[in-house]
Amino acid sequence: MTVIDEAARTAREEPSSTAPLLSVRNLVQEYVTRGPGGVKAGVVHAVSDVSFDLMPGETLGVVGETGSGKSTLARAIIQVERPVSGEVVFQGQDLVTLDRRKLKATRARMQMVYQDPFGSLNPRWRIEDVVAEPLVGHTDLTKDERGARVDELLDLVGLDPRQYRRRRPMELSGGQAQRVAIARAIAPEPALIICDEAVSSLDVLIQAQVLNLFEKLRADLGLSYVFIAHDLATVKQVSDRVAVMHLGQLAEVGPAAEIYQAPKHPYTRALLGSVPVLDPATGAARRPVPLTGEPPSPLNPPSGCRFRTRCPIAQDVCAEVEPRPTPIGDGGRRVACHFPLGE
């Protein structure tokens, strides 16, 4: 475990304790849609002016509906697609302006885990090759050293190396395959892991195992996470802070406990109210209170506040002036609403 201990130390100490690990500033990502004949038909405002900081060892949960820009945000952070504008400063380096070669070196310290483990594992490779691949690209370990490290990594994610290293992805269950994807993600000793709906396709019992694994790795390796999911309770379980996204914008960001206990943005309140609640201790259930209306199209977002068409407390000003994320209190909480709740 020496390699991993070192990794944990560097991950914790390299950036000074007060500097954010990841700092996203005014990030904008847009896609052009084309009609027949390749004529520009419109612009999808996928991510509009999003800013947040992630401190080392911290987990930021990102919640929102389909089309709120959660996944686009993840892709813009790791530079799968270069953002239209804005900064993504990771460990002191702005990735947006970094050239491809340097970017590749940075990516070893920033890994991603996706929703469908079978879609992200090469079906023809053995598990040992899948997990060793990032070691080939990002380290100069010898073949034997890589083999030892693969055993160590499989052990760490709770798979017995003797039993699993020679298997292929199709011989695994969904939960086991997701563990392999996680082992591969932590192989190059990253400081940050971006989880895009990483537990959404798993059954509840397996989901609980994988969530606990994320927690264990966070504690053991000092990892930071950006944890993207549509399930609010799952996000609460793992996150220190939560960003609520609505149609490409940050509706609200702040400490998880505060946001879940006292949402300030009407959209956050609506999301929380839509969750069917079952108290496992008493068996008491609470029916959801549905929001009325359909989410607006990101192709043609409403003027002013993008939530106003569904907002129960919208006023005239909401259609005219776009609310900016404004600090509330001293807990690092920001809310983009003209009429924050409970104020």
Residues engaged in binding another protein (CB under 8 A): 59, 65-66, 173, 175, 203-205, 207-209, 211-212, 215, 218, 230-234, 236-240, 256-257, 260, 270-280, 282-295
Whichever of 218 and 306 has its CB closer to another protein, that residue is 218
Which of 78, 69, 57, 45 lies closest to 14, judged by CA? 57
Q: Which is nearer to another protein, 38 or 276 (CB)?
A: 276
Give min distance, CB of 89 to another protein, in A. Answer: 25
In whole angstroms, give the CA distance from residue 114 to residue 123: 16
Residue 227 CB, nearest approach to another protein (Å): 11
Residue with tokens 């020496």: 2
Nearer to another protein, 17 or 292 (CB): 292
Q: Closer to another protein by CB, 25 or 167: give it.
A: 167
Find residue 285's DSSP bridge partners. 278
Closest approach, Cβ 98 to another protein, in A, equals 32
Cβ-based neighbour number of residue 105 at 10 Å: 12
Query: Which residues lie across from 40 on neighbouring strands?
Result: 34
Q: How far is the CB of 142 from another protein (least distance, A)?
A: 35
103: Cα separation from own chain's centroid: 20
In the complex with another protein, the residue whose CB is nearer, 75 or 218, is 218
Specify the residue, 150 or 213, whose C-beta has the smaller distance to another protein.
213
CA gap 291, 269 in Å, rounded? 10
2 or 292: CB nearest another protein: 292
Taking the least distance from each CB to another protein, the nearer of 269 and 338 is 269
The least distance separating another protein from the CB of residue 331, rounded to whole angstroms, comes to 14
Residue 286 is which amino acid? R
Q: Distance between CA atoms of 147 and 164, rounded to whole angstroms?
A: 13
- Quick one: tokens of 263? 């949402």
- Rounded to the nearest whole angstrom, what is the least distance from the CB of residue 256 to another protein in the complex? 5
Nearest residue to 328 (alpha-carbon basis) of 265, 268, 266: 265
Q: Residues 6 or more apart from 16 whose CB is under 8 A from it?
A: none
Q: Are 94 and 76 in contact (CB under 8 A)?
A: no
In the chain, where do the E strands start and end?
Answer: 22-34, 40-54, 59-63, 85-90, 93-94, 110-113, 192-196, 224-228, 241-246, 249-255, 277-278, 285-286, 326-328, 333-335
Note the Cα 5 to chain centre separation in Å. 25
Q: Minimum distance between the CB of residue 135 and another protein, rounded to whole angstroms?
A: 29
**C-beta of 279: minimal distance to another protein in Å?**
8
